[in-house]
Structure 1
C-alpha cells in the first residue's frame, strides 16, 4: 500500500516544472497587448441621467448649462478598452477575442518590445468569440503555433499570458481543471483552468509546456469580477478552424444540414424502441438540404460523414466543420432500420440570415376538452393557430393547461404548447392521441413519444403512460 502511494507521489513530482521562466522567455515576444477605442455618444440631454424629482436635478441642470460654455453639453467622447492577443505568423496575423475588438474603430497593438502598430480587423466570429487582426511590419514578427487541445488532460500544466487589468505583460500558471466546458454558445468547447485570468487577459493565449497555444483565454467565473481560479479558454482545435476561415474569407463559412435536433434521452430511446440512448433526434426538417435528401422528423442520426454521433452537440460540430457544398453520407435510424442519405450541405450563415421565427402568443385559447397525461388539450383551431403564430394549416392538439404535479410539467410542457405527433404519427383529433396511448400500452411501451412545438420550435418529449389506466 505504501509503495503504491509512494510511486504516485514520485510521478507527480517528476511532472512538476521547477520553473516557468525559460518558457515565458521563449514565448513572451509573440504575446501582445491590445488597446481599442471607439466614439461613445453623450447622453441625449447632454448631461448625466438623474431621476426625475431628485434633489440633484436642479444642480445638474444649472451645472450642465444647456446654452453651452464651460458647463455646456458634453460632446461624444472616445472610449478605450484593453485586451490581449498573440501573433500566429511572421507577417503579422494576430488572434484575440471578438469581444475585445467589438465596436472598435481603432485597434492598436503593443508588442513585448514596446513597439506599437495599428491593426486592421480581418474578420470575427461572435459564436466562438474569436477575431483575427493584421498588422503591417517591416520585419518578420515572432509568433507561436497552435497545439492540439484534444491531447490536453485534466491535471496538465498550463501557462496564461496577457495584460490583466491593464497592468502590462503578465504570466500566470496552473493546470487544466476540466475539459469540454460549455458556457452559452453552440460551438463552445472550453478548457477550464485555475491559472489566474482577469479582465484584460481576454484574447490572450493559454500555453502547454511545449510553448504551443492550446486555448484562447475568454471568460472567468467570478462573484466579484476577479480571478477565483475558474477561467475558461476556448480550445485551440475550435479556434484553428475559425482562424483559417477568417484568414481565407474574412468570415466563417459553416456547413448547414437544415434540421432541428435534440439529444436522445433514456426515456425517448425506450419510447422509440432504440437499443441505446445515443444519436441526434430530428425534431423538424424545414426547407433545406436535409429535406431535399429525404430526412424526416423522428429520424435518429447515428453517423455523419463516417463519424459516430453520440449527441446533438456532436452533430452540430461535425456539420459546422464540414465544407459548404460537400455531399456527405448521413446514416439515420428510421422505424428500427438504418438508412443512408446523401446530403449536400448548405451554409449556416446564409440560412440564419433568412430564418424568421414566429412570435408566441401571450395566452392560448381557453377550451378544455380532454385531460390526459397531466395535460388539458384542445384541437388546434384557426383562432388558436393565429394566437400561437403557427403556420397556416397546422394540425395538432393545443395544451391549454398543465398539472403542476405531473411528469409533463416536470419535463417542460407548458400552456400554449402544441402536440403535433404522438408515437411518431400525426395527431389532429383528441381521439388520435387516445388511440396512440392505447396502441403504445398494447405494444408493451412504458412511455409515449410526443412531438411538441413551441413558438415554431419543435422537440420530442417522452411521457410515461403507465399511470393513464387510472385516469
Structure 2
C-alpha cells in the first residue's frame, strides 16, 4: 500500500522553507536599507527641529510718486474703476508713500534670539517680523549683513529661551546623503521637503561660493531657511535655485554651513565681515600655461597684476604662481581666495610662490578686503565716456533711473541695470527674462553702470567660467539666473 504522507510532508517543508527564505530576504533588505541610512520617516526629525525654523515678513516704504497722475472726468463711467485701481496699487493719493512686503525664512541659532537668514530677504527693509512655529511673533533688528555670501544675522528679544538648532560640518556631507529643507515656500507657511545632496562645492560665480546642490524642493520664500542633515544639524542655508520658470525643478543651492559659520561669527562679534586681503589679481593655471611656464602640474594661482597693497609690499611679482598659502597647498584661484578671506587681518602668513622655475617663500601681512574695496584703484588713463546702453548676453540694458524704478514698483534708491529688450532667440529669453526686469547683481557684485556688467562678464571669462549668475528683480522679487557667457 502506497503511503503519500512523506510527499505531503515534503511539500509542506518546501513551503515552509520558501516562507523562511522570503522572510530572510525581506529582513536582509531592511537591514541593508538601515545600513544605507534610508529613513523610514522624516516625521520625528521634522517635529524636533520645526520650533527653531521661522517665517520672516519684511515691509519697506516705497517713496511716493511725484509725477502727474492721469485724470478721469467726474461722472465718467470709469471713475469708480480708476479710483479702486489706484487705491489697490498705492496711488490713491498723489504723494502718499506705499508699503511693499516680502516673505522669507530663517532659523534660530541661539536661545537668546540670534537668527540667520539671507541678506536679500531683509535688504532695505524698514520692519522685520519673525513668526515662530508656535505662532508667536516678534520684531527683529539687523545685527549685520554680508552681501557676498548673501547671509544676514538678526536678533529678537524674547522673555523666555528660544528653541534653536546647531550648525553641522558641511564638509562631511557626501553626494547622495539625505537632507531636509524647511521654510516658507511661496508664502504658504511652514513646510518641509526632503531630498539628497546632488553635488558639492558648486560655484555660482560668487567670490566665496561653496554651495551644496540639492533636489529637495526649494521655492520662493524658502530663501534663508535651513538645510538639515539627518542629525538635525544645519549644513546649509537655502539661497538660490536654477530654473527657467522661477519655480523649483529640483536644482536648489544652499550656502555651505562651514562658510556661514565664519560669516555669522564675524557679524556677531563685529557687526560686519573682516576678510583678509592679499592684494593681487590672479587667474587659474591652465594646462597650456603650465606647459609654457615649465610647471609640472596645472595647479596654483597665477598672478597677473600686483597693485599697491600687502602682496606688493611683500615682494610678489606679476608672473609668480602661488602654490602654497599659510602652510596649505593652493589648487586654484577659488581655493586661494577663500583661504585668504578666512585668514586673520593684520597677521603675517607664509606664502610660497614659483618664480622662474624656483620656489620662494614670502611673508605677507594681510590687509582687510572691505577697506581695500572701498578705495578707488588709481588709473593711468583718462576715464572714457560711459555708454548709456548696450546689448550684452542677449539683453539690451541701461542704468536704472528713479523714474523707471517708480514705474516698476521699486524704491527710488534701487540701483541696477534696466532690461529694455530681450532677444527672443537668446538664452536669456528662454530662461524667462523680459523687458522691465532689473539686474542688480552680476557674479554677486552690484552693477550700476553698463561697464559693471561688462567687467563681470570679462572676469568670468578670464576665470574660465562658462556662465555668469545674475540677480534679477521683477516687481521687487529676486531671482537668480545663470546665463552662458561663451
Q: Deviations over 1:96-155 (max 9, x none)?
A: 000000010110101111110010000000000000000011111110000000000000
1:185: Cα distance to partner? 1.0
The corresponding residue for 2:321 is: 300
Pick the aligned partner of 2:337 from 313, 316, 336.
316
Q: Deviations over 1:301-353 (max 9, x none)?
A: 00000010000001000000000001000000000000000000000000000
Q: Is the 8 A contact 2:66 2:95 kept in 1?
A: no
1:268 equivalent to 2:289? Answer yes
Pick the aligned partner of 2:63 from 41, 47, 54.
41
The corresponding residue for 2:15 is: none
* Distance in structure 2 (CA, Å) of the matches to 1:293 and 1:268: 25
* Distance in structure 1 (CA, Å) of the matches to 2:109 and 2:323: 37
1:25 equivalent to 2:61? Answer no
* Distance in structure 2 (CA, Å) of the matches to 1:71 and 1:123: 36
1:225: Cα distance to partner? 1.5
Distance 1:290 1:9, change over 3 A: farther
1:213 equivalent to 2:227? Answer no
1:244: Cα distance to partner? 0.2
Question: Secondary structure, in 3 states, of the residue corresponding to 2:374?
Answer: helix
Matches within 5 A, 1:123-202: 123-202=144-223
Q: Is the 8 A contact 1:32 1:84 kept in 2?
A: yes
Q: Deviations over 1:12-60 (max 9, x none)?
A: 5642100000000111110000011110124332548xxxxxxxxxx89
* Distance in structure 2 (CA, Å) of the matches to 1:456 and 1:154: 32
* Distance in structure 2 (CA, Å) of the matches to 1:148 and 1:250: 24
For structure 2, the 5+ residue unaligned runs are 1-27, 71-77, 387-454, 464-486
Q: Deviations over 1:265-295 (max 9, x none)?
A: 0000111111110000000110000000000
Pick the aligned partner of 1:229 from 250, 253, 258.
250
1:257: Cα distance to partner? 0.3
For structure 1, the 5+ residue unaligned runs are 1-6, 49-58, 364-452, 462-471
1:282 equivalent to 2:303? Answer yes
* Distance in structure 1 (CA, Å) of the matches to 2:82 and 2:114: 48
Question: Secondary structure, in 3 states, of the residue corresponding to 2:168?
Answer: coil
The corresponding residue for 1:247 is: 268
Pick the aligned partner of 1:80 from 101, 104, 116.
101
* Distance in structure 2 (CA, Å) of the matches to 1:196 and 1:166: 14
Q: Is the 8 A contact 1:124 1:251 kept in 2?
A: yes
The corresponding residue for 2:418 is: none
Q: How many residue pairs get matched?
A: 354
* Distance in structure 1 (CA, Å) of the matches to 2:457 and 2:199: 36
